[in-house]
């Protein structure tokens, strides 16, 4: 989706049950020896895909369902809120940003459990992006006519659709190291697993992680984000010390919808959790965005333009 104040775009919250169950990445497969020349081929193909994605004329609507759970009852430092990285989209190109804004207006104690349903429209034509979001439901009830669209408290999202460009675009290649980890299978689809590591470790605007690229066309199926590359991750580490625990942060994006060779987000999840010495797990914040009910009006790539 587009301009971003946090990480990727569009969502809808709804109440989380006391026992939260989330999709977990597949277990790590044994390391495989990969032909060193294969990396160059995969990168070339992935960058071709990203160029098509970045330049495509798009017009679609979907529903965004956001579920946000926040438990600040253990916080003992006023206004200490996690920041998660993201990307900012601007006309004419990309500017490094953060996956989520650092919000300092969150109360230091209390719990909240909310869900939102949005109708989201995205239009990009001749490089110009227009988007519109309408709140359909708040906690499964229709909102008041003058009610302002809510913002998530901890993790904020945007530009989910275009995040692959941020990691794979040739213009950012100097800031990353790439490693082809292995061949894998994701939901029955054969894929390459590509590891992306920022070279500037002290600069928190460059995210890292692992991407699952469809072997057939190098389109991005999934991104598992590396929390160590999150902006202001030291806040999470300090909070873990305060809790007497180890941080366990999970963040990933799945691109489960395909149209005209381009893939669109189906799920974006970020969870901030902590595990103590006895193995007890405490989830402090979870933001889960489900994208559904896509209706495509225009999905045209450069290949289509040439016809």
**φ, ψ of residue 299 in degrees (nearest 5):** -140, 90
What confidence category does residue 220 fall into, taking pLDDT thresholds of 50, 70 and 90?
very high
Instruction: Indicate whether 14 belongs to any domain.
Output: no
Average model confidence (pLDDT) across the chain: 77
Total length of the chain: 307
What pLDDT does 307 receive? 40
C-alpha distances (whole Å) from 160 to each of 62, 103, 150, 169, 250 are 13, 20, 18, 15, 16
Domain count along the chain: 1
User: What is the rounded CA–CA span in Å between residue 204 and residue 32?
Assistant: 30
User: What is the rounded CA–CA span in Å between residue 86 and residue 165?
Assistant: 12
Instruction: Indicate whether 4 belongs to any domain.
Output: no
pTM: 0.78
Instruction: Indicate whether 15 belongs to any domain.
Output: no
Instruction: Indicate whether 307 belongs to any domain.
Output: no
The answer to whether the beta carbons of residues 174 and 24 sit under 8 Å apart is: no
For residue 148, give the CATH number of its domain.
Answer: 2.50.20
The pair of three-digit structure tokens given for residue 250, joined into one six-digit string: 């999970």
Instruction: Indicate whether 25 belongs to any domain.
Output: no
Give, as one character, the DSSP assignment of residue 154. Answer: S
pLDDT tens, 152-192? 666 666 678 988 998 998 887 788 999 999 999 999 999 99
Give, as one character, the DSSP assignment of residue 39. Answer: H
The answer to whether the beta carbons of residues 28 and 227 sit under 8 Å apart is: no
C-alpha distances (whole Å) from 95 to each of 2, 92, 171, 172, 225 are 12, 10, 11, 10, 19
Instruction: Indicate whether 26 belongs to any domain.
Output: no
What pLDDT does 109 receive? 61
Strand segments, DSSP code E, in 164-280 are 176-186, 189-198, 209-214, 220-225, 245-254, 257-259, 262-264, 267-276
∠ CA(132), CA(138), CA(144), 5° rounding? 80
Instruction: Indicate whether 10 belongs to any domain.
Output: no
What pLDDT does 24 receive? 43
Range in 25-39, 62-76, 249-263 the model is least confident about: 25-39
For residue 21, give every residue at least 6 positions away whose Cβ sits within 8 Å of its Cβ, in sequence order, or none.
none
- Report the share of the chain in percent with pLDDT over 90: 51
Handedness of CA 281, 283, 287, 288 (dihedral sign): positive
Indicate whether 151 pLDDT > 80: no
User: What is the rounded CA–CA span in Å between residue 265 and residue 9?
Assistant: 9
pLDDT tens, 78-136? 444 444 333 333 323 333 333 543 332 344 568 889 999 999 999 998 878 888 889 99
What pLDDT does 204 receive? 57
User: What is the rounded CA–CA span in Å between residue 216 and residue 135?
Assistant: 38
What pLDDT does 253 receive? 95
What confidence category does residue 12 fall into, taking pLDDT thresholds of 50, 70 and 90?
very low
User: What is the rounded CA–CA span in Å between residue 204 and residue 98?
Assistant: 8
pLDDT tens, 256-297? 999 999 999 999 999 999 999 999 999 999 999 999 999 999
Q: Residue 126 sits in which domain range?
A: 36-301
Indicate whether 1 pLDDT > 50: no
The pair of three-digit structure tokens given for residue 116, joined into one six-digit string: 């939102």
Strand segments, DSSP code E, in the chain are 57-71, 87-90, 93-96, 111-125, 128-138, 176-186, 189-198, 209-214, 220-225, 245-254, 257-259, 262-264, 267-276, 281-300
What pLDDT does 217 receive? 93
Cα dihedral value 297, 124, 61, 207, nearest 10: 130
For residue 206, give every residue at least 6 positions away whose Cβ sits within 8 Å of its Cβ, in sequence order, or none.
96, 172, 175, 176, 198, 199, 200, 229
Among the listed residues 305, 239, 303, 302, the one whose alpha carbon sits nearest the alpha carbon of residue 276: 239
pLDDT tens, 71-80? 988 886 544 4
Instruction: Indicate whether 21 belongs to any domain.
Output: no
């Amino acid at each position: 989706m587009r301009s971003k104040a946090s990480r990727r775009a569009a969502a809808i919250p709804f109440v989380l049950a006391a026992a939260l169950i989330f999709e977990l990445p597949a277990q790590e497969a044994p390391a495989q020896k990969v032909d060193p020349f294969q990396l160059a081929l995969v990168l070339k193909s992935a960058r071709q895909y990203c160029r098509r994605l970045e330049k495509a004329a798009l017009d679609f609507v979907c529903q965004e369902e956001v579920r946000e759970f926040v438990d600040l009852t253990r916080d003992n430092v006023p206004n200490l809120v996690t920041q998660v990285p993201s990307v900012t989209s601007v006309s004419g190109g990309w500017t490094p940003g953060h996956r989520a804004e650092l919000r300092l207006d969150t109360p230091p104690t209390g719990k909240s459990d909310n869900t939102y349903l949005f109708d989201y429209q995205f239009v990009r034509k001749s490089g110009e992006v227009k988007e519109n979001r309408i709140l359909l439901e708040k906690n499964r009830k229709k909102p008041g006519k003058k009610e302002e669209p809510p913002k998530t408290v901890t993790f904020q999202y945007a530009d989910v659709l275009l995040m692959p460009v941020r990691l794979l675009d040739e213009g950012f290649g100097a800031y990353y190291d790439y490693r082809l980890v292995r061949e894998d299978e994701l939901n029955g689809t054969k894929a390459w697993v590509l590891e992306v590591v920022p070279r500037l470790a002290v600069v928190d605007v460059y995210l890292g992680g692992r991407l699952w690229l469809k072997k057939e066309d190098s389109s991005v199926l999934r991104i598992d984000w590396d929390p160590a590359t999150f902006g202001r991750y030291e806040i999470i580490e300090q909070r873990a010390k305060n809790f007497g625990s180890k941080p366990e942060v999970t963040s990933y994006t799945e691109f489960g919808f395909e149209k005209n060779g381009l893939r669109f987000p189906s799920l974006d999840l970020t969870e901030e959790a902590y595990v103590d010495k006895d193995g007890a797990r405490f989830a402090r914040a979870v933001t889960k965005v489900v994208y559904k009910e896509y209706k495509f009006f225009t999905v045209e790539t450069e290949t289509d333009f040439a016809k």
